[in-house]
Amino acid sequence: MTDETNICIRINGEDHRATAGSTVAAALLNNGFLAIRSSVTGEPRAPLCGMGICFECRVTINGTRNVRSCIEPVREGMEVETGG
């Protein structure tokens, strides 16, 4: 049996729970964020490959833009912004 420790992260200015050791993309999906950015034509985008190749999962983390959320581990108190 594993001990899944929940941590707190902020997504778009609101507190959300995430499982320690998971990725930001997993935390976003687990918290109901199915589309996390828009294409240049306005189409919704979400994580696709899950290994950092496609760049569809880019978000802003702690002020750093275009971070690939599928390969970035969650950290207590991190600030994640979607949609940009």
> Which pLDDT score, from 0 to 100, does residue 22 have?
97
Query: What global pTM score does this model have?
Result: 0.90
> Which pLDDT score, from 0 to 100, does residue 3 have?
54
Evaluate the CA torsion angle 41, 66, 49, 37 in order and state its sign.
negative
Full 3-state SS string of 35-82: CCEECCCCCEECCCCCCCCCCCCEEEECCEEEEECCCCECCCCCEEEC
Please state, as a whole number, how many other Cβ atoms lie within 10 Å of the Cβ of residue 20: 13
User: Using one digit for the tens of pLDDT, what is the confidence trace for 1-37?
Assistant: 445 799 999 999 999 999 999 999 999 999 999 999 9
Q: What's the mean per-residue pLDDT of the chain? A: 93
